[in-house]
Every structure is written in C-alpha cells, then in structure tokens.
Amino acid sequence: MKVLFDTSVLVAAIVEPHPLHTSAFRWLTRARAKEFDMVIAGHTLAELYAVLTTLPIHPKITPGIAGHLIRSDVEALAKTVSLSPSEYSAVVRRMVDLGLSGGVIYDAIVVKAANKSEADHVLTFNIDDFKRVWPEGVDRLIAP
C-alpha cells in the first residue's frame, strides 16, 4: 500500500507541540516501520521547509534544524514524486476547469503526485480542500 503524506500531516507529525501531533506522529511511526510505502510530492519539501521555518513557536525552528528534520523524518522515509512541466500545466488546466483559484492549487499538485505515484491514499488534515480539487478521489482521502 502507498500513502502520500500532505504537508499538513508532516508538520503535525514533526512539531511536538502541534495540537494534532499524536495522531499524525502515529502515521510517521507506521511509515518508519514499513507498514506501507510513504510518498510525498516534490512540492511538499519546499512547503514543509517554509512552514517549519516560520511557525510561531519557541524556540524557533532554524533553517538548519528544519533541514535536518526534513532529511531524517521525510526524505529518509518517503519516495518523492516530482511533476514534469506538462503535468504542472495539466494541474493549472484542471483548476481552470473546476473554476478554482488561489492556494488550493497546491493541493491539486499533491493530487497529481498521488495519481502519478498510484498512491492508494492521501493523508491530510485538509480533507475539504482536497475534495474540491479531487471530487473523484474522495474515497482515497484519509485524515489521521
């Protein structure tokens, strides 16, 4: 089984004071135990870094610590799926067809990576946003 992790789950799993840490961390633990194949979208690496280094927590997560956390808790466990230029264009066309605007396009990028990797599930805390960009994939969405 392949499970693609959304940034929302990775942030919660990595940041212990996060209110959803316990449920997200269980999934990261399962990935470490090789209960399933962990997958991420290439975009997720950048988004995760941006979120970790700007979280309003003390002590702050420095760029060096964020890099270490990403390498050890994500890159060491997950297969990263990158999109081609034509796949990015297809995501934009999909957003146009759905009449959606704004940051929800980043969820659509994750969906494209999930389909490309043939992930069985997308693990996210943003189920409603994903339903908007992937109505045909609702049965593959799970929240920790």
Q: What is the pLDDT of residue 100?
A: 96
Token couple for 108: 């659509």
E strand segments, the chain: 2-5, 37-41, 78-81, 121-123, 141-142
Kindly report the backbone phi and psi dihedral angles of residue 46, in degrees, each rounded to the nearest multiple of 5, phi listed first: -70, -45
Contact 70/48 with Cβ under 8 angstroms?
yes
Other Cβ atoms less than 10 A from the Cβ of 118: the count is 10
Residues of the chain with pLDDT under 50: none
- Whole-model pTM: value is 0.94
Q: What is the pLDDT of residue 144?
A: 95
CA 65 from chain centre, in angstroms, equals 19
Domains defined for the chain, CATH in brackets: 2-142 (3.40.50.1010)
Return the axis-axis angle of helices 85-98 and 105-117, rounded to nearest 10°.
Answer: 120
Q: How many CA atoms lie within 13 A of 54 on its CB side?
A: 6
